[in-house]
Amino acid sequence: MTLENYMIPCLTKTLFGVECFGCGFQRSLALLIKGQFAEAFWMYPAVYPMLIFGFLVVISKFYPFKYQQQSIQIFGILSVVTIVTNFIIKQFIL
């Protein structure tokens, strides 16, 4: 059994045949767990800013730090911009 056997299928892709904004995230995380960092980025480029964003949110709940709000906002915005850019590239350029 591999990680791919436990992945949740994309409802949007299943029903409409179109990839959603999150398509590729699970596969990218699986590649990260396997240590394939470059492949994870090419699968879903927003994986790194999203992981940093999540890490900052969790850490800030337990250990407040200077500039926590600004850091969370920056990585949140960076994540959204990367997700939208990736979606546009997948849908209209590739």
Distance of CA 45 to the CA centre of its chain: 7
pLDDT of 40: 92
pLDDT of 65: 85
Q: What residues does each domain of the chain span?
A: 3-93
List per-block mean pLDDT (blocks of 10 residues) for the chain, which spans 94 residues.
73 83 88 92 92 93 89 94 91 78
Please state the pTM of the whole predicted model: 0.81
pLDDT of 36: 92
Within a 10 A sphere around the Cβ of 47, how many other Cβ atoms? 23
Contact 82, 45 (CB under 8 A): yes
